Each structure stands twice: as structure tokens, then as C-alpha cells.
Amino acid sequence: MPDAIALDSDWLRDHPLPQPANDADKNERGRVLAIGGSRSVPGGIRLTAEAALRAGAGKVRVATVESAAIALGVAMPEIAVFGLPEGDDGEIGADCGIRLGELAEHTDVIVLGPAISGTEPAGAIVDHLLDAKSCAAPLILDAAALMALAPARIGALEARDHPVILTPHIGEMAGMLECEADAIERDRAAATRKAADLFGATCVLKGSTTLVATREGELYAYAGGGVGLATGGSGDVLAGIVAGLVARGTEPLAATCWAVWLHGEAGRRCAESQGPLGFLARELLAHVPGLMRAL
């Protein structure tokens, strides 16, 4: 891709991650609010939460459906978990706005969407986060939240102080742009730039070559991803890495590019040690701290 900037070790060294002071406490290392999960996919948001911690965030709070909250907190004692009202369909209820507003007041970055199964509940939360003055933190949208990006929400997306970060795979990108996946595959770079421009966002298009486009038209490419990364929960991990890097003070675009590289290189290490297929999304997580240290 001749006009894309390669996300390689040279680029990463030229854009180093901010390092916390040796005496920094967990609040200074940044606070993440992860919103997601459902009764049918109760564990996906755990991947996002752990990825944020592995990327260096100091504190992670998860807001999820009440039926999953206690089990999630027991499974991952490093995080705080808040149960949200739950609809009959097992999704986060539409009446969660007040609680989310309270949580959003004390966070440095918000990631929304992992493991939410329905577009309608995701859309209600997107509206609240875009409308509430208390939700001014950088925002990362993934999975079902991406399908909620109706034209009526574009103005609110563009008006945010920080460009929203969008992390679709090709099927989600097709839904966002209201076209067929084959059309995107024919010119992935053009589609990624189009989405970034349309939504006034930083947009990632995941794939064997993952692309990152800015609303100004810049394009970055990471070509090291393997087919093993095309597995359930892999995108939840990527979203969490982005959130963790933003929380610790990384500029959002740099955090997105770094996260794409860390995610892909973690997949490469899993493929080398276990084989190109069959490793699990949660097995990516332990590789992230070492990859950051290596550079």
C-alpha cells in the first residue's frame, strides 16, 4: 500500500509511549471505564478489561449486565465491576444513563461495545455518552456500538474534543458504510479513509493488513497480522489495548497505532509458539507487557 505509513519498529521508536514516574500511583497511570457484556456473552468484556491493564492502565472499572457482574468481579479481582439494569433480552437496559454518567465523571477513557449483542441497547448508550457533558473523555467504539452509528449521530461524533476511535472488522465496516463487504475488500484503504471522514473519527479496519485512517486523511498500515487473530474475542482485546494506552497518557492516534502493532505482534508470538491456528484471544494478553518493553 504505497501511500500508507508502515507501523513498524522504526515508527514506534519515533513515537515512544509515555512512561509513568516511578512513584506514580494507579490513578496517575490512568482510569478506564469499559462498558459491555451481555447475558449471552458475559466474558467478552473481561478480555477488554484485562487488555487495558496489560497495556499499562492503573485502574479499570467495568459496567456490565447485573447477571454477570458478580462472576466477572470474582474472576478478575483486579477490576471494579458495576452491575447495570438488564433488559429481558439479556442486554444492558436503556435506563442505565444516570449510572453511566456517574461513572464517566471519573475516568480518563471510555471503551464501549465489546460483547454487547444488540444494536439498539448499544445505540442508547452511544447517545448518552455523546450527549452527556460529563462524558468528555476519549471514546473508543467497538462491536455493536459501531452498528449504532446512524447518520443522526455523526454531528455529535464530530463535535467531540477528541476524535472517537472506531475499531471495525470488515463486516462491521460494511454496516457502517451501508455497502457490501466485497466493495470494501476491493479497496480497503479507500473504505477506511471514507469512514474516518464520514464519522470525523480515527478508524481502524482490522484484517490481515490492518489499516488506521484519520479524519485528516492520513493512513497507517500494519501487515503482520496472521489468520489466527481471526478468532472470538480478538477484537475485544484490541479495543482494551487502545483504552489502556490512552489512559496512561498516549495521544489517541499514537495509542491506536501502537495497539494495532501490539495486538498483531502478540498474535505472531502465539502463532510461533503454538501454531498459526487455535490460540485463544486471552492468550494474546500476556505478551503485551513484554512487547512494550522490547521497544
Mean pLDDT of 132-136: 67
**Cell triple for 269:** 508470538
User: Please, what is the end-to-end C-alpha distance for the chain in angstroms?
Assistant: 25
How many domains in the chain?
A: 1
Residue carrying C-alpha cell 462498558? 35
**Confidence (pLDDT) at 100:** 86
Domain that holds residue 136: 5-294
Mean pLDDT of 218-232: 93
187 has pLDDT over 70: yes
CA separation for the pair 244, 32 (Å, rounded): 7
Q: What is the CATH number of the domain that holds 172?
A: 3.40.1190.20
CA separation for the pair 260, 273 (Å, rounded): 20
**Confidence (pLDDT) at 4:** 94
Instruction: Name which of 80, 76, 132, 123 is nearest 101 in CA terms.
Output: 132
Indicate the pTM of the whole model: 0.96
Instruction: Name which of 60, 58, 66 is nearest 79 in CA terms.
Output: 60
135 has pLDDT over 80: no
